[in-house]
Every structure is written in structure tokens, then in C-alpha cells.
Amino acid sequence: MRIEDELVYTQYANWRMENDELIKFVQNSKTSIKNTFEHVLPVVEYLYNDIIDNEEYGVEEDGIFQFGFQYLVFKYNEIKFILENFCQGSYEKLESIAKTINLMFHVLEFEQTLLENENASSEDIDEIIDLEKEVEYYLERCENAPDELFLKIDQKTNDIFVKGDYEFESIESIFSSIAISLEID
């Protein structure tokens, strides 16, 4: 691996140190917020450590590491933003709205899938953006969205995927498969 390729590994180590408190909070959380990272963080951590020990560490491992790292940075930045701006720095408040944070992550991931699909209709994308705004409304108040919104989002996303014949696999699910193949507990 070239030196310029190794820069991302240094960036990961620095990011990990800078966000240690939040990472530990999420890992130790008794709520669903930790589910978002249940397999991604261990896989990224494994690959980070593997580069030192594995002479056969290659492009595939590096690609998984870099994608996972970017995913972690994005999601943790979202959590940090919610913590600082909507929960007044209170981890207790943040934890109390974990299911709504996960709902937002679900909507954003679904939205991204549609945006990347050239066959997605602008109407479907607009519907998802509207749902995103509804979830944001509750996050901005550091409140959980009502169960009706969860049901509405499940129904809308299901309708859109069935209608558009889209395929969707969550990043967490993909990283779960990677964790199994790497034999990570």
C-alpha cells in the first residue's frame, strides 16, 4: 500500500480519538442507536488493525475500510449535531430519542438509494424528502416521532420499493455479512 493510501488510516485513528466519548456512549447505549453501528464499527476496526498484520491486505479490504469509515464519520457527525444542537449536549436526552434518530438514518439511506437509481421518479424522491422533513421536525425538538410516523414511513418506503421494483439492502446488513465472512463476533 502506498503512503498516500495510508493517510486514511491515520485519519481514522485521529477521528477515533477525537470522537472517543461519543463512540463509547453509542457502544454502551441500551437503546437502538447502537444498532446503526453494530457491525460497521467492528468491521472497520478489524480492517484498521488487519492492515498491520496482514501482508495480503488488498484493494477490496481497503475499499470496505474506506466506505465504512466514511459511513461512520457521516453518521457520527449527524449524532453529534443532534446532541449539540437539539439535545443541549445531554446524552440522556440523545438516548431518549434513539429510535427517531434511527428512523432518520433509515429515511436518509433509503433516500440515497433512490437518488442513486436512475429509474427513480422525482415524485418518489419528493415523498421521501417530505418524510425526512417530518422526522427532522421531531429531532429538532429532541422528541421521539409518534408511532404513526414510523408506520407511515414503513408503508411509504414499502410502496415505493414495490412500485419501482427497487432493490435495497441497508449498509448495516451489508456490514453484517462482511462481519460474518471475517468471523468477527
Query: For 97-106, what is each residue's pLDDT tens digit?
Result: 999 999 999 9
Cell output for 105: 438514518
Which DSSP category does 146 fall into? P
Q: Which residue has the cell 429531532?
A: 139
How sure is the predictor about 3, in pLDDT bands with cuts at 50, 70 and 90?
Answer: very low
Query: For 49-77, what is each residue's pLDDT tens digit?
Result: 888 777 778 888 889 999 999 999 999 99
In degrees, to the nearest 5, what angle opens at C-alpha 160 toward C-alphas 157 and 166? 100
Contacts of 143 (CB under 8 A, 6+ apart): 97, 100
Letter for the amino acid at 8? V
Rounded to 5, what percent of the chain is helix, strand, coil? 80, 0, 20
> Which domain range does residue 98 map to?
3-181
Number of domains, the chain? 1
